[in-house]
Structure 1
Amino acid sequence: MTRAYRLDARFRRGLVWFRRDLRTGDNAALYYALKHCERVWCVFVFDTTILQPLIDQAHARDSHDGNVQDRRVEFILASLEELDRSLKEGGGGLLVLHGHPTDLIPDLAARLDVEAVFANHDYEPVAIGRDERVAQQLGQHGRRLITFKDQVIFERDEVLNGQGKPFAVFTPYKRAWLRQLTPFDLKPYPVERHARSLAGPPRKLDREWPTLASMGFAPGKLAQANLLSGMSGAQALFEDFMTRIDSYAERRDFPAARGTSQLSVHLRFGTVSIRTLARLAHDMSLQPDSEGAATWLSELIWRDFYVMILAHHPRIASGASFKPEFDTLRWETGKDASNAFAAWCEGRTGYPLVDAAMLQLNRTGFMHNRLRMVTASFLAKDLGVDWRRGERYFAEKLNDFDFAANNGGWQWAASTGCDAQPWFRIFNPVTQSEKFDPQGRFIKSFLPELENVPAKWIHAPWRAAPDDLKNWGVVLGKDYPQPVVDHAKARQATLARYDALRSR
């Protein structure tokens, strides 16, 4: 695979394969294809190796044979429609296929008689294997797969420590990242300069796009989530966040406040460029009173950090702990653990902040970052359930699911990962609730049955007198669950679990 700065060839015909980069502006692969090819076609493939497991999981869980709702597939399809319109404005258009990319991309390259396929790097081990197979098939016929860095600022070996080795702790990585950063790293790719090379889909290949129904999916969830799609959706959210960025540092941890950027799903699918966001965050962070921008930039650097960790430690994609010694932790098993996991998934643990967060995830596909930490800690350290089960559940539900970030977050919470929360520090779900949702506004937005419970008691309603609860319209065990676990006892069990590992 060729890095962008090494590309010096010219081609008659090229094909751009969109994946996690659903935009025309500031797109590395699209820019280099247009710059180095006389004619360029564009394609996106709905990958059945990704989609079919989603369908199978839903059918196994719900025991029905109908089409499956998945807001991420809806988001992609809506974003592709805007991408197609943007390409057509430049004289091109988008082919959209459904199947196995390892078959479809080489076949399309042959039908178009292109000399090279251009794409942006994908860092997950499964995607790397897919790209290697595509490159091999293309190579058998004298064609090339050329990929570029696009979804991160620095990748794999670009930020190393003084010994030339990868970092395993975020703060020194961040310092090195900032020292290494230059304006060139944040410079946008001027795609528009070369748009004349775009070619519309040939008539013989210009077929109808796959629909949600033809792929086994049903509409409905995207509207429920109130999720803006495409490049225009990303731009609208970006502009809105710029009016609030100064307060980001102090508001970002409060789920009832509009404190975060809401751009994570757009970063995940590339409807906005990471360079655009990092450039503005970095420039603003250099100004006086810039704590909000500096904090946001730090969050963007975390994305690079976790991608780097995955690149150097691909075994974590197979379920391994970053710290191998934690692979022998003895998690709770059996019926009780299964029941506890089900209560966690369904938002009925009896801890209002945890339950509201899980209901938000289930209904909208979004979960606030503070609540991701709280719910993950609760599963692993209050319920004693293997963090991998929670990781898989988030992977199924999150609109912005990204393996590297999701795995990193879960291993942080379970104390098994790099730069992890020390195992003896255990989030108290009640004090987290009192601190970050003091009036219970977030809780009540997802648990209307607690609407009349005063702020003093809403974080731990079992502490209130039963008669008071009854006056507020709540009978524990009927209107709202009793706690599934006592936090103080669970904390001691967790300390014993990790102590036993240390002694072994």
Structure 2
Amino acid sequence: MSVNAPTLLWFRLDLRLDDNPAMQAAIARGKPIIPVFIYDEDKDWPLGGATRWWLHHALADLQEQLSCHGLKLVLQSGDSAEVISDLVEKHEIGAVFWNRCYEPRTIARDSAIKQQLKSQTIEVESFNTSLLFEPWEIKNKTGNPFRVFTPFWKHCLAKSFPKTINCDLGATKVPRAWPDSEILDDWKLLPRISWDAEFYKFWKPTRKAGLNRLRQFVKDAVHDYGNGRDRPDWDGTSCLSPYLHFGQIGPREIYEALLGKVDLTKGGPRQYLSEIGWREFSYHILYHFPSVPTEPLRPEFEHFPWEPDDQLLKAWQKGQTGYPLVDAGMRQLYAIGWMHNRVRMNAGSILVKHLLQPWQDGARWFWDTLVDADLASNTQGWQWTAGCGADGAPYFRVFNPVLQGQRFDTEGDYVRRWVPELAKLPSQYIHQPWEAPDSVLAAADVKLCKTYPLPVVEHQQGRRRALDAYEKLKFFHKDKK
């Protein structure tokens, strides 16, 4: 092997150069660096349309980041093990470094690749850049994984948080020859039809834009985050989730951006930091219970009496449930690949409780339509909503979408933005247009059942339906004991 045997730097969900331990290890090795990204989709969870859109732009941005240091991003598609083996052989690679991912299939694949490289006496090492703490580091007093968030996060807060890594990017070395690279546009990650027009108005999927958003959030919105996180009509959340998912920003960077500028022990900053903790908890659960993307963590929910109905599911997907707050959220989701968390909870509750549709169907739709579709967070959110996961909301807690809209979208601005056919309704009726007098509906150009649907199920009826289903589950579980 050549004394200048290059380092293969394998990018995955870590599409940044700074605060990147695999990058720093490659630099410290002192050999030429060959960065590579392999498009190798998980067969069980292939990328949805929205995440493919973000990935395209994030990779283009990473190419620009690398070019500033004389490096190129080698793009390859196919089986990761085969691509790496081929690159190692053809380019006399001396070391392979990457940052860890925690999806079940990825863990198994990476372990096999690592063992194969070691058997070839290739230096190989993986690092943590996407979490504050490794899932196996956090254990309860009995040495088992946590299943409730509050004690989990309390345990984390008692530990020393890791610091960001300043990579010596000026010390990168360039190889004499570059491997062949595929062309990003040839991967056809962008949609063939222009459903993504609003994406470009709302998002800039670059590291620079993510850092700017973080700075602005810490300066302004984080202080009132306790209220802002519940108000879809405000710009009160960080909107950093897609940047976090693709590793354009890391959780250590978020923590350090907050540290020293705000009091992390109280108010909005404390609540926001706990959201980072919830993300950590989601990965903790996924790592220790790898079946949760498709199976409930609480086994008794395997027998829940769901009533799958394609028409109800489609009405929900298209924002045609007849509940303005929910429909606004579902349309926002389709338009920009993101939905405010307060509305996500209401949209999820409608699907699994009022409509008795399996939570897995909701998770799959979100997976396809969210730019921040993250297997751990998406799974955790849906199992929480369905009451079947770790620290889940009780199943008998059923959101009233009318009251939720009146409380958190007081003037109806959020609904007017995303359900324009209701825009002319007075605020007192915008969350329950079926209660408006005919004269008010006529003045607002609203024709119920024509321009806007009636609720697919009346709230009290839907609530009763959900509670009856829960009682059936309890009786079934009791009989099995």
TM tier relative to shorter chain:
over 0.9
Does 2:466 correspond to 1:494? yes
Structure 1: gaps (5+ residues): 1-9, 56-69
Equivalent runs, 1:61-140 vs 2, <5 Å: 70-140=49-119
Deviations 1:77-126 (A, max 9, x none): 22223322322322322111222222212211222211221111110001
Does 2:272 correspond to 1:296? yes
Match in the other structure for 1:63:
none
Equivalent runs, 1:5-404 vs 2, <5 Å: 12-49=5-42, 53=46, 70-182=49-161, 185=162, 187-192=163-168, 195-200=170-175, 202-203=177-178, 205-212=179-186, 217-218=191-192, 220=194, 223-225=197-199, 226=201, 227-244=203-220, 245-286=222-263, 290-317=266-293, 319-333=294-308, 337-404=309-376
Using the size of structure 2 for normalisation, the TM-score is 0.92
Instruction: Give distance in 2, aligned partners of 1:47 and 1:374.
Output: 34
Aligned-residue offset at 1:338: 1.6
Deviations 1:48-84 (A, max 9, x none): 44699558xxxxxxxxxxxxxx343232222223322
Contact map agreement 1:282 1:297 (CA 8 A) in 2: no
Instruction: Give distance in 2, aligned partners of 1:251 and 1:48.
Output: 36
Specify which structure has the higher proportion of helix: 1
Match in the other structure for 1:452:
424
Give the direction of change, closer, same or farther, for the CA distance of 1:221–1:120 in structure 2 (3 Å limit): farther
Structure 2: gaps (5+ residues): 477-481
* Matched residue SS, 2:291: helix
Aligned-residue offset at 1:301: 0.7
Give the direction of change, closer, same or farther, for the CA distance of 1:316–1:103 in structure 2 (3 Å limit): same
Using the size of structure 1 for normalisation, the TM-score is 0.88
Aligned-residue offset at 1:340: 0.8
Contact map agreement 1:412 1:419 (CA 8 A) in 2: yes
Q: Does 77-86 or 15-24 show the bigger shift? A: 77-86
Aligned-residue offset at 1:499: 1.2
Equivalent residue letter for 1:121 = R
Aligned-residue offset at 1:240: 1.9
Instruction: Give distance in 1, aligned partners of 2:256 and 2:188.
Output: 40
Contact map agreement 2:131 2:250 (CA 8 A) in 1: no
Give the direction of change, closer, same or farther, for the CA distance of 1:375–1:212 in structure 2 (3 Å limit): farther
Deviations 1:247-297 (A, max 9, x none): 222211111100011111000001112101022334445368x52211111
Say how many residue pairs are matched. 471
Aligned-residue offset at 1:414: 0.5
Give the direction of change, closer, same or farther, for the CA distance of 1:145–1:294 in structure 2 (3 Å limit): same
RMSD of equivalent CA atoms: 2.2
Match in the other structure for 1:67:
none
Contact map agreement 1:408 1:417 (CA 8 A) in 2: yes
Deviations 1:313-342 (A, max 9, x none): 11213x110111111101013xxx221111
